[in-house]
Every structure is written in C-alpha cells, then in structure tokens.
Chain A
Amino acid sequence: GNSVTQMEGPVTLSEEAFLTINCTYTATGYPSLFWYVQYPGEGLQLLLKATKADDKGSNKGFEATYRKETTSFHLEKGSVQVSDSAVYFCALSERSTLTFGKGTMLLVSP
C-alpha cells in the first residue's frame, strides 16, 4: 500500500536558518504530493503541492520538488522565522484520499 515517511522531530533551528524536512514515499502509481502545516490548536493548512514528476511547489518561501527517481518530496526554506514553528505533514494522494506521514515538529527560536 501507499506510505509516507518523514524525518522525526523536533527540528530545532534559530531564526534565519535553512530548513530541510525530508519526506519519501511509496506508491503503486503516480501520486500527487502535498505538504500541510498544523499550527498549535488548529486544523491543517495546505502549504504546497506538486502533481507530477519534476514539478516544484512553492508558497510563503517554502519549496518542494517532486523527485520520482528518489521517491522524495523534501520541504525547504531558505530562512525560517519564529512564526514558522508548527508541525509539518507530508502527504500523497493517488486516487483522492490523503495518506499522511507522522509529521515533523519545527521549533524556531529568536
């Protein structure tokens, strides 16, 4: 079946540091890939998506590239802010339902 593996957290960074959160997936076909973010006490918000190989999704300074050859969709940001502290979920969709990774908590200190 489909699965998503994310690096375990928490990831602790200082403000303005570079961020990478690794995500790899297993799927039988050609899924769409997503990153969602969950702030404390809130629901999930879509951060970015990519629907085919080599597509790059980007939003609010975050980027991720759909790499079919390595089955990966790593999340990156060049300079994190304290307000980026949240839990980040990588997810795939092959038919229409989402399969999520376990989430990676990001803590950014001033």
Chain B
Amino acid sequence: DSGVTQTPKHLITATGQRVTLRCSPRSGDLSVYWYQQSLDQGLQFLIQYYNGEERAKGNILERFSAQQFPDLHSELNLSSLELGDSALYFCASSVGAGPSYEQYFGPGTRLTVT
C-alpha cells in the first residue's frame, strides 16, 4: 500500500458525459501528479500540482482540468468524454517537486467510456 488513495476504482460512463476522479496523497506529501495509461499511448503525464498551485502541464487535453485543494487532495475533471478517453488514470504524490523526489502511485481509476 503506497498510502495514495484514489476513488472511484472503476467508472463506466457514456460519451459526452463529465466525470470527476479524486486522489488523496500520502500524508505529508505536497505534490500531486496525474498520469493516463492506455494501450496505445502508454503512460503519459497529464498535470502536476504543488501545495495548491499548478506546477507543470503535460499532454492534458483542454477538455480535462484539475485542481488541488487546501487539504492537498486533488480532483481530475474529464468532460465531453470520448471513446478514446477510456484508460487507467493514476495519481501519484511526492514530498517535494524536484526531479529526484520519489513518486508514489495510487491504485488507479479505470475509466470506460461507452
């Protein structure tokens, strides 16, 4: 158990809908990252927050947004869903925000868009 929790574990929804994925980092970690894992794209970085502020942005679509709240939990919002958004979405957390900090991953949320 990494100490990172994600809810829900599974999500099935229809095209055009909007969903929210939730992540609670390990106790004491200030940085939260979101990654998408799909068969064709592999593991891709989406976005990072550090202590409530957006720190880095990767291949995140405009239909996706995220935020980190004062209690440090984070939410990833996916809207106008398409079939191609079906994937595993992982949250990770680390103590700091530099390249040498170890990132601890949650169990993931499996999103299926039908």
Chain A interface residues (CB < 8 Å from chain B)? 31-32, 34, 36, 42-46, 49, 51, 89, 93-103
Contacts and interface: CB of A to CB of B under 8 A. Distances in A.
A43 B90 contact: yes
Contact of A96 (B42, B101, B108): B101
Contacts of A95: 56, 98-99
Nearest to A101: B42
Contact of A43 (B33, B55, B99, B108): B108
B58 A100 contact: no
B31 A102 contact: no
Contact of A97 (B2, B33, B42, B108): B33
A32 to B, nearest CB: 5
Contact of B58 (A31, A32, A93, A97): A97
Interface residues of B, number: 28
A34 B105 CA distance: 13
A35 to B, nearest CB: 12
Contacts of B98: 95-96
B107 interface: yes
B108 A98 contact: no
Given A93-B99, A97-B48, A43 B42 contact: no
B104 interface: yes
Given A43-B2, A43-B106, A96 B56 contact: yes
Interface string B82-102: 000000001010100111111
B19 interface: no
B112 interface: no
Contacts of B64: none
5 shortest A-B CB distances, which residue pairs? A93-B99, A100-B43, A43-B105, A44-B105, A51-B100
B100 A93 contact: yes
Contact of B31 (A45, A46, A96, A101): A96
Nearest to B6: A43
Nearest to B96: A96
A102 B2 CA distance: 22
